[in-house]
Amino acid sequence: MARRPDLHAVGKNQPRLDGFAKLSGRSEFSDDVQLPGMLRGRVVRAGISHGRIVNIDISAALRVRGVKSIVTVDDKPNPIIGMYQPLLNRTVRFIGQEIAAVAATDDDAAFEAASLVKVQYEPLPAVMDLEKALVPGAPQLHAKAPGNLAWEANEAFDEPDAVFAASDRIIESSYASNPSHNCYAEFHVCVADFSRADKLTVWSPTQSAVLFQKTLATAFGLTEGNVRMMTLNTGGAFTGRGMARPHHFIAALLSRKARRPVKLRSYSDEEFMMGRAGGRAQYRFRTGVMRDGRLRALEADLLVDAGAYIETQMLFPRITAPFFHLLYKVDAIRYRARLVYTNNLPYEWHHGGGIAQMHFGWGQHLDLVAREVGLDPVEFHLMNAVEKGHTTRKGVTFASCGLKECIQKAAKKAGWKRKYGKLPPNKGIGIAIGAMASGAKGLYKHDTSAAFIKVGEDGTVSLLTGIPDMGQGSHTTMAIIAAEVLGIEPVDVTIIAGDTDVTPFDLGAFSQRGTFTTGNAVKAAAEDARSQLLKVAAARFDYKPAQVVFRARQVYPKGRPEQGIAFKQLVYDTLHSREGRAVMGRGFYNSPKEVGSMAYSFGAQIAEVTVDPDTGFVRVDRMTVAHDLGRAINPRVVEGQIDGQVFSGMSQVLYEEVLMDDGQPLNPSRLEYKLPRAFEVPEVDHLLIETIDPYGPFGAKEVGEGPIVCTVPAIANAVAMAVGEQIREMPISPWRVLRAVSRQQDQDDDAA
Amino acid sequence: MPSKSVIRLTVNGDLHEIAVSPMETLNQVIRDGLRLTGTKRGCTSGSCGVCTINDERGQAILSCISLAVEWDGRSITTVEGVERDGKLHPLQQAFLELGAVQCGVCTPGLIMSAMGLLNTNPHPDQRAIDEALAGAICRCTGHIKVKKAVAHAIQQIAAQAATQAAGAEPHGPPA
Amino acid sequence: MHLPRFEYVRPDSVAHVLTLLGEWRARASILAGGTDLLASMGQRLAQPKVLIGIRYLPQLAGVEAAADGGLRIAAATTLSDLEHHPLLAERFPTLKKAINAVASRHVRNMATLGGNLALPTRCWYTNQTETWRNARSGCFKTDAQACHVLATSDHCVATSSADSVPALIAHGASVILASVRGQRTVPLADFYREDGANPTVLAPDELIIAIDVPPCADRTAFIKVTPREGIDFGLGTIAVAVAGSNRRVERARIIVNALGSHPMPLRAAEAVIREQGLTEASVEAAAVAARADLGEITNLWTPAGYKRRLVRALLRRALDDVRRQKRGPAPALPAPGLPVAGEVSHAV
């Protein structure tokens, strides 16, 4: 790793600043919140897939001692356009749909009352299968969506048909991914205090306090400022905690009605309903390629089970479509995505945001293309890969790009040439490449993060930020950035976060915007604070401001550290001057682009696997990860981000599946949903490729979601090599492997 | 309604007398009653590990599927009882330095799972480490740095014990 | 988890437990480790009026070396204590391996052997919350004559999954059951019934007191196939015990579990080994013969056919393992000074 000698904090391993609290049991999460008079909530959920609610009888429930409020369709909040909200209608469209809710003084009463709410339905025919839902005559879910087509996106760049016609070969293949669930360490929970009609305070894990604030304010006719989001710590998010969910609205409704705070926490299989464990997707890819392996045209057609309601799924095409532009130099691109209503659980983002899941197919498809034209996939990717300065069909120019370097370094480290095509039976090696935007404008006209810095007389700093830390380590990263600018140590920085009454605006920790966008805002705030100190320092040293160095808690003229004064002395002098300047820095960052991002990360991963031909189990022996992240602000935390994504990608591609049966998940538990654990962990090699992006803070780009995009297809490609054919449905479960193994054995027998 | 009974439970060395109903779990008593919220509430059915504590034999057990009434006269250690004199235990220190903490919800359970191992098996091999941790889930770290931290802490503790036995000054943790 | 209402009693003797059981019968449940029972109660699969806590009865915990070199394991001995007992490493390594395969370390620190033997069968349609189940019709385990796993079945085919069971049966273990009516010893192989809804012969007033394992000089093997090591139900488990040499097999016990509603002996495969000895060819022949032994296979996570194929592989691997072993554990002699009941050495 290239360490710039003039950086003193960036690039050093800094243990998490919140580590002590988290390790000693002191950190507080939303489920740990206890408020005076707090009630416990319980949701009444539909037990049918499709039907009209004829009657809801709450009379018996109301008689249970300790019940303080019951909400039903009559208590509905204001609708938010384009989003499903609970209790808004009298039609049930999936098992588990929120019908009513109870708040009581304890769990016993809440459970009992909820079980006494009697709902009468008039059943309607249901449809669970994605393709069947599109067939004419299928049961219709929403009058506004004839044919159950919830959303369709189409894009074409240049002349796909002409370019396909001019290609030497056209290769087509199809894949599918099945529903999965994030299994957050922190279960879904919301504490809402709406005791005062003009102020709603909400404690809940989130990736974006601002988005929660906005939707809750709209739903309850408040202004944003009257919704106070207390994020505390977020116990894992994995793209699934970006928006307020039904339980947030319900907790607020219950609290408003009871005029007491309410805690609503998932119970058992409810975790899979609150987490919206839906979302099967089918992918068809078509590629036009020249005989020599040069890519000409790409086409993708996605069919996604949106489930019973649109919550945030319409973002799916917007998020997945750009990825066909980012990796390869091509002449034409066509993209189509359709979201289909079914009576399944609504689809919600899972780790990888739909992108990693799509890459299960996309990465395998490209591997197939490489092999069809007789190229080693490494050579094939290198031949077609984008480079620094490349402008995509969508008009994005890569100011930094280490894709080829990632491919080359990963291949070298993994010993690709030695292994590819030369491994013993049941062993496989596979490569996949990926890219990811560092922040993506498009949700609003802005994509802003802001930061405040308060410099104390003792030389310590309070950094106010609105970005939540859900484990990714952003708070520590921000402290390092501020410390770097001010020439102090990261431990001198206290992070103030998680309370929208206090913290500055920040869209949140999604679209991999944290390090890049919030990082730039923090850097700007620190620079603002520094410029206030610089005036005093420059005068004192009689040097130009540009010649003053802030480093190691000292401030000195360039090249003359012996003349330095302590940072805190400078702060003191600045305050105790005639001007009396208290040092407060402020900064914000908003991408100057209209949509998309200023910076993209790139990566390549090589998976090595062993397949057990008797059981179909796949063991990932080693992952070699090369990721162009611009610069590693905190290298060990970066490794941790990569590790988590390698694990989660492996887990999703090999193990995780919410098995749906007639609209119900068959395995809605930590036990039956097969997330692997300590035994199943591969060895991981980290190659941090630092391309120093001109727009990133100290050159940094994202590393929060880019790696998983490579992990999923790299493992799939390695498995394909080990068993002799691609497994085209995710997860690559043992029986899918075994089916392929026996097919291959039969073929071998036939050939013999 | 079944009546409550009073149990005498020692938690991190402090004796508490607590009235509990038969249905209350040890997890509820620790979190809601004693307000020791370092012990988390997770799946509440014994499969996710975030509620792990140590019993008086030092073993890792699951507080969510233990009835509080069964703990009368017994003692437990929670994550709040692991540090000594305001200093992290070498195991916690290893988690911190090797980056084995991310979101932090599973962390107390992982610490108590690993403490269970240290308490009952001073010289565990890799399999024993995996076994000790496999009762818990962590998507954030993917268990990778957690395993390294536990192995590192075991080495540290063994090395410290060896140097102390030899009468030398104990080493600080390596970078 | 939210538990239904119940009374908790902690008897002070085994006799007291039996009296309570005789009185309350099916309305009471024995609470030992609680790892399965409490989770089931949270799902309202079990709703006993009374829980009888037995974990603290000294008579029900501990491992004793029997005079003949076998073991007597008190029923409420935790799986961890049993697993770490020196006698297991010394003389019953396969049993140790099978105990180690149960759930997670956390669960084994709490769960007991008696609980593992009496573990209810499981399936995806019934082992769910009450609200989940309410969205469907009932089954043999609840209030209907139907099986959601296998629609054509006239009985419950939920999976029997206890990992200790096939190993103990292969070792020829028996269970000692007691009630106010008296005490009886049942070979473990006969303890199970081919009915997932009522999987053992344990009467409502009976308590498992202990498990007797005879001395073992056999060559033995145990394999559990599970996609997630460390905490999972097996997709298939097998235990094998072979007496005699490879050339002259005197007795072979081959038991599979986690395939259907009860542990299954593979009689035809046993016969092949007995008749042909242990050779590469006989192992293969046994694997083929095993097909005839397999009754109903319960396919939950896996599609039909997967488990049948798996059994062949399990059998081949387990028998190969045994074939390569030179001999079983040394003939056991009653050794003075071994830890006595209730005293276990692994924990500090």
Which tens digits make up the pLDDT trace of A140-187? Answer: 999 999 999 999 999 999 999 999 999 999 999 999 999 999 999 999
Could you report the per-residue pLDDT of C89-120, keeping only the tens digit for each?
999 999 999 999 999 999 999 999 999 999 99
Instruction: Provide the residue type at A434 as one letter.
Output: G
Neighbours of chain A (3+ CB pairs under 8 A): B, C
Q: Is B157 on the interface with C (CB under 8 A)?
A: no
- Using a CB-CB distance cutoff of 8 angstroms, which residues of chain C are in contact with residue B116? 105-106, 109
List the single residue in A with minimal CA-CA distance to C40. A268
- Using a CB-CB distance cutoff of 8 angstroms, which residues of chain C are in contact with residue A674? 227-228, 232, 301
Q: Is B67 on the interface with A (CB under 8 A)?
A: no
Q: Give dist(CA A40, CA A21) in Å, integer.
A: 27
Q: For the ranges A211-215, C200-204, C325-329, which has the lowest average pLDDT?
A: C325-329
Interface of C with B (CB under 8 A): 1, 3-8, 10, 31, 34-35, 38-39, 42, 51, 53, 55-56, 80, 100, 103-107, 109-110, 229-231, 346-348
The contacts of residue B125 (CB under 8 Å, 6+ apart) are none
- Cβ distance of B46 and C39 shorter than 8 Å: yes
Nearest CA-CA distance, residue A470 and chain B, Å: 5
Query: What three-state secondary structure class fits C44?
Result: coil
- The answer for C 6-45 residues in CB contact with A (under 8 A) is 42-43
Structural tokens at position A61: 């429930």
Helix (H) or strand (E) holding A20: helix A19-23
Structural tokens at position C22: 């005789």
Q: Of C246, C236, C216, which Cα lies nearest the Cα of C71?
A: C216
**pLDDT at position B168:** 55
Q: Is B134 on the interface with C (CB under 8 A)?
A: yes
Nearest CA-CA distance, residue A268 and chain C, Å: 7
Cα-Cα end-to-end distance for chain B: 57
R_g (Cα) of chain C, nearest Å: 20
- Cβ distance of C39 and B61 shorter than 8 Å: no
Q: Give dist(CA A508, CA A516) in Å, integer.
A: 12
**pLDDT at position B122:** 86
Catalytic (active-site) positions of A: 705
Q: What is the dihedral of CA C59, C63, C64, C65, to 10 degrees?
A: 170
Q: Give dist(CA C165, CA C239) in Å, integer.
A: 9
Q: Give dist(CA B50, CA C148) in Å, integer.
A: 33
**pLDDT at position A82:** 67
Q: Of B110, B129, B140, B117, which Cα lies nearest the Cα of B38?
A: B110
C134, C136, C302 member nearest A735 (Cβ): C302
- Using a CB-CB distance cutoff of 8 angstroms, which residues of chain A are in contact with residue C132? 269, 664, 668
Q: Give dist(CA B6, CA B78) in Å, integer.
A: 21
Q: What is the mean predicted confidence (pLDDT) over A643-661? A: 97
Q: What is the dihedral of CA A717, A718, A722, A727, to 10 degrees?
A: -40
Helix (H) or strand (E) holding C270: helix C267-276
Q: Is B139 on the interface with A (CB under 8 A)?
A: yes
B2, B67, B120 member nearest C34 (Cβ): B67
> C344 or A665, which is more confident?
A665
**pLDDT at position A750:** 60
Instruction: Provide the residue type at B63 as one letter.
Output: S
Q: Give dist(CA A227, CA A202) in Å, integer.
A: 8
List the single residue in A with minimal CA-CA distance to B107. A23
B105, B111, B135 member nearest A235 (Cβ): B105
Going from the C-alpha of A738 to that of each of A263, A512, C131, C301, C305, the distances in angstroms are 46, 37, 35, 14, 10
Q: For the ranges A139-143, A170-174, A221-225, C1-5, which has the lowest average pLDDT?
A: C1-5
- When scoring C79, C99, C105 by the number of chain B Cβ atoms within 10 A, the one with the most, hence best to mutate, is C105
- Cβ distance of B137 and A677 shorter than 8 Å: yes
Percent of chain A with pLDDT over 90: 88
Burial of A748 (0-12, 13-18, 19+ CB in 10 A): exposed
Q: What is the mean predicted confidence (pLDDT) over A459-488? A: 97
Whether the CB-CB separation of A404 and A433 falls below 8 Å is answered with: no
Q: What is the DSSP letter of A515?
A: I
Q: What is the mean predicted confidence (pLDDT) over A679-693? A: 97
With 90 as the cut, is the pLDDT of residue A505 above it? yes
CB–CB contacts below 8 A, A to C? 78
**pLDDT at position C330:** 60
A268, A614, A676 member nearest C42 (Cβ): A268
Q: What is the dihedral of CA A59, A62, A63, A65, to 10 degrees?
A: 170
Q: Give dist(CA A280, CA A306) in Å, integer.
A: 8
- Cβ distance of A678 and B129 shorter than 8 Å: yes
Q: Give dist(CA A590, CA A593) in Å, integer.
A: 9
Neighbours of chain B (3+ CB pairs under 8 A): A, C
Q: Is C336 on the interface with A (CB under 8 A)?
A: no
Could you report the per-residue pLDDT of A418-431, keeping only the tens digit for each?
999 999 999 999 99
Nearest CA-CA distance, residue A82 and chain B, Å: 31
Query: What three-state secondary structure class fits A389?
Result: coil
Helix (H) or strand (E) holding C38: helix C37-42
- Cβ distance of A235 and B104 shorter than 8 Å: yes
Whether the CB-CB separation of A555 and A416 falls below 8 Å is answered with: no
Q: Give dist(CA B129, CA B109) in Å, integer.
A: 14
Q: Is C302 on the interface with A (CB under 8 A)?
A: yes
Structural tokens at position A268: 């058992």
Going from the C-alpha of A33 to that of each of A20, A29, B9, C135, the distances in angstroms are 20, 7, 24, 33
Q: What is the mean predicted confidence (pLDDT) over A663-672? A: 95
- Using a CB-CB distance cutoff of 8 angstroms, which residues of chain C are in contact with residue B132? 105
Sheet holding A67-71, edge to edge: A67-71, A98-104, A39-45, A262-265, A189-196, A199-203, A227-230
Q: Of C327, C81, C177, which Cα lies nearest the Cα of B61?
A: C81
Whether the CB-CB separation of A382 and A404 falls below 8 Å is answered with: yes
Could you report the per-residue pLDDT of C43-60, keeping only the tens digit for each?
999 999 999 999 999 999
Q: Is B12 on the interface with A (CB under 8 A)?
A: no
Could you report the per-residue pLDDT of A512-526, keeping only the tens digit for each?
999 999 999 999 999
Could you report the per-residue pLDDT of A455-470, keeping only the tens digit for each?
999 999 999 999 999 9
Strand A449-455 with A584-589, pairing: antiparallel
Q: Give dist(CA A21, CA A207) in Å, integer.
A: 20
> A744 or B134, which is more confident?
B134
> How wide is the angle at C-alpha A151 spanned by C-alphas A150 and A154, nearest 5°?
155
Q: What is the mean predicted confidence (pLDDT) over B4-23? A: 97
Nearest CA-CA distance, residue C228 and chain A, Å: 6
Nearest CA-CA distance, residue A661 and chain C, Å: 10
Kindly report the average pLDDT of chain B as a whole number: 94
Strand A118-123 with A227-230, pairing: unpaired
Prediction ipTM score: 0.96
Whether the link from the prior residue into A125 is cis, omega within 30° of 0, is: no
Query: What three-state secondary structure class fits A170?
Result: strand
C124, C129, C235 member nearest A268 (Cβ): C129
Query: Any idea how long chain A is?
Result: 752
- Cβ distance of B44 and C1 shorter than 8 Å: yes
With 50 as the cut, is the pLDDT of residue B171 above it? no
Q: Give dist(CA A498, CA A203) in Å, integer.
A: 9
Q: Give dist(CA A220, CA A256) in Å, integer.
A: 10
**pLDDT at position C331:** 53
Percent of chain C with pLDDT over 90: 86
Q: What is the mean predicted confidence (pLDDT) over A59-86? A: 86
List the single residue in B with minimal CA-CA distance to A271. B43
Interface of A with C (CB under 8 A): 45, 47-48, 95, 107-108, 111, 267-269, 614-617, 655, 659, 661-662, 664, 666-668, 671-672, 674-680, 733-735, 738, 742
- Cβ distance of A184 and B102 shorter than 8 Å: no
DSSP class per residue in A421-456: TTPPTTEEEEEEEEEEESS-BTSSS---EEEEEEE-
Q: What is the dihedral of CA C287, C292, C297, C301, to 10 degrees?
A: 30
- Using a CB-CB distance cutoff of 8 angstroms, which residues of chain A are in contact with residue C310? 614-615
- Using a CB-CB distance cutoff of 8 angstroms, which residues of chain C are in contact with residue B46? 35, 38-39, 106-107
The contacts of residue A229 (CB under 8 Å, 6+ apart) are A202, A204, A206, A209, A212, A213, A499, A500
Q: Give dist(CA A302, CA A692) in Å, integer.
A: 35
- When scoring B23, B139, B145, B147 by the number of chain A Cβ atoms within 10 A, the one with the most, hence best to mutate, is B139
Phi, psi of B75 (to 5 degrees): -135, 150
Could you report the per-residue pLDDT of C161-182, keeping only the tens digit for each?
999 999 999 999 999 999 999 9
- When scoring B82, B85, B102 by the number of chain A Cβ atoms within 10 A, the one with the most, hence best to mutate, is B102
